[in-house]
């Protein structure tokens, strides 16, 4: 199967999932079917992460206690009767502990040690952390824990008590597949780490990311400035419940590859300058909370592959220079809103694969615009929408091309309507 065929199959699957039908869908009917879909999200608004958490979290999962200051809880599932790998690096400012245990009546109960056989020394489950970088390595045994789930998982709860500065998965040095973090079955993280600058769950490959992580919560303030790739390729992540981003300046690839991501909290993004690839391949994301993007310079590939996104979010793009591939492969996108292209110099592939796009206008404060060519090939703009788009084009300082091939309204544009583009130094390709 070619990449194009696989992509079209994914769009058809998304349409069937959204409208509840099962019959095959022809590619030439995508635009019509997409326009008939209900709006995305819960009641057409960005889903509330707390609601998603409560609605989707299995009832038989152990409920993690709310962490106090300098505490981190990790919920790990282990197939009953087996063992599972766990290894991470943690930088701490002062001495601390990693403890393993169960939750009883809402409180964490540490298991200090386990006697495997009478007459043998007990096996300790508490590890001391020293100031600096610590590498924690365990082969966690299901028999040490309680809380069997319906799907046969024992539930280990880990508690990190320390002044954590950085936490990240680390390859287990003694095992045959040390770097495949997907096999660890970490399903939830809940922390309150005020001095931490990084809590890394993602990686640039599927093997280097926590592939089973479903829920993440970072309570209170933190010291993070760079959250690039923080959840990259965390394919099972459904909801981020809380996350302070007040001091963050970079979010490149932050959620890239989070194919199941549904809900995000409202965040302060006023200092962020780079959102390139931030939501790439978040195929279930239907809407996002409002974000302050006034300082962002790059949105290259920001929503590339967000096949369930029906409407472009309202973003301040006045400082953006690179919008290449920004909405590429957003097959459900219908409304592109009005996008400020004042400083844009790159727009290659911006709307490639947006087969359902029916409306878009642009704005620019520049008297003589120095931006780039624009292509809306094979979108679904009718004549009225195309007239509105052409009327919104800025006056270009150098000749620019607007490609409208494949739009249903392109053939019916009058000579006068086309002349509006020509007068602004644009050539139409129809």
pLDDT at position 32 over 80: no
Note the pLDDT of residue 41. Answer: 36
pLDDT one-digit tens code per residue, 263-309: 999 999 999 999 999 999 999 999 999 999 999 999 999 999 999 99
Note the pLDDT of residue 33. Answer: 64
Q: When comparing pLDDT for 333 and 19, which is higher? A: 333
Can you read off the two tokens belonging to residue 199? 């809590």
Note the pLDDT of residue 358. Answer: 95
Q: Mean of the pLDDT values across residues 166-194? A: 83
Least confident of 25-34, 242-251, 420-429: 25-34
Note the pLDDT of residue 43. Answer: 37
pLDDT one-digit tens code per residue, 336-367: 889 999 999 999 999 999 999 999 999 998 88
Please state, in angstroms and rounded to a whole number, the distance separating the CA atoms of residues 320 and 345. Answer: 9
Per-residue pLDDT band for 20 (boundaries 50, 70, 90) equals: low
Q: Mean of the pLDDT values across residues 210-232? A: 97
Q: What is the pTM for the complete model shown?
A: 0.87
pLDDT at position 72 over 70: yes
- What percent of the chain lies above the pLDDT cut of 70? 88
- Domain spans in the chain, listed from the N-terminal domain onward: 3-35, 297-430
**Is the dihedral angle over the CA atoms 313, 318, 319, 320 positive or is it negative?**
positive
Q: Mean of the pLDDT values across residues 109-117? A: 87
Q: What is the average pLDDT score of the chain?
A: 90
């Amino acid at each position: 199967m070619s990449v194009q065929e696989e992509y079209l199959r994914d769009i058809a699957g998304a349409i069937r999932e959204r409208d509840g039908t099962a019959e095959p869908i022809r590619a030439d009917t995508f635009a019509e079917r997409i326009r008939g879909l209900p709006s995305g999200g819960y009641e057409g608004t960005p889903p509330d992460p707390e609601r998603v958490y409560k609605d989707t979290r299995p009832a038989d999962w152990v409920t993690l206690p709310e962490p106090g200051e300098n505490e981190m809880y990790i919920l790990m599932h282990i197939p009953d009767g087996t063992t599972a790998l766990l290894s991470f690096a943690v930088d701490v400012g002062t001495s601390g502990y990693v403890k393993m245990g169960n939750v009883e009546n809402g409180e964490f109960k540490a298991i200090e040690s386990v006697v495997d056989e009478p007459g043998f020394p007990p096996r300790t489950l508490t590890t001391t952390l020293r100031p600096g970088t610590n590498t924690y390595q365990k082969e966690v045994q299901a028999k040490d824990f309680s809380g069997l789930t319906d799907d046969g998982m024992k539930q280990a709860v880990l508690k990190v008590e320390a002044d954590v500065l950085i936490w990240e998965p680390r390859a287990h040095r003694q095992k045959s597949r040390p770097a495949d973090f997907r096999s660890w079955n970490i399903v939830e993280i809940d922390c309150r780490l005020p001095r931490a600058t990084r809590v890394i769950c993602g990686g640039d490959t599927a093997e280097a990311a926590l592939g089973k992580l479903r829920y993440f919560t970072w309570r209170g303030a933190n010291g993070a400035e760079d959250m690039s790739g923080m959840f990259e390729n965390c394919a099972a992540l459904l909801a981020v419940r809380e996350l302070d981003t007040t001091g963050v300046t970079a979010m490149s690839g932050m959620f890239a590859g989070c194919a199941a991501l549904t809900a995000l909290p409202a965040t302060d993004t006023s200092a962020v300058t780079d959102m390139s690839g931030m939501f790439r391949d978040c195929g279930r994301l239907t809407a996002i909370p409002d974000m302050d993007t006034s300082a962002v310079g790059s949105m290259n590939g920001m929503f590339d592959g967000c096949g369930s996104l029906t409407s472009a979010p309202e973003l301040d793009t006045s400082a953006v220079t690179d919008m290449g591939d920004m909405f590429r492969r957003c097959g459900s996108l219908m409304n592109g809103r009005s996008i400020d292209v004042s400083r844009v110099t790159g727009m290659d592939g911006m709307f490639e694969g947006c087969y359902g796009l029916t409306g878009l206008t642009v704005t620019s404060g520049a008297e003589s615009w120095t931006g780039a060519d624009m292509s809306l090939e094979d979108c679904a703009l009718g004549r009225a929408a195309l007239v509105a788009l052409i009327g919104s084009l800025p006056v270009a300082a150098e000749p620019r091309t607007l490609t409208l091939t494949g739009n249903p309204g392109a053939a019916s544009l009058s000579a006068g309507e086309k002349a509006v583009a020509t007068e602004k130094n644009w050539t139409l390709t129809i």
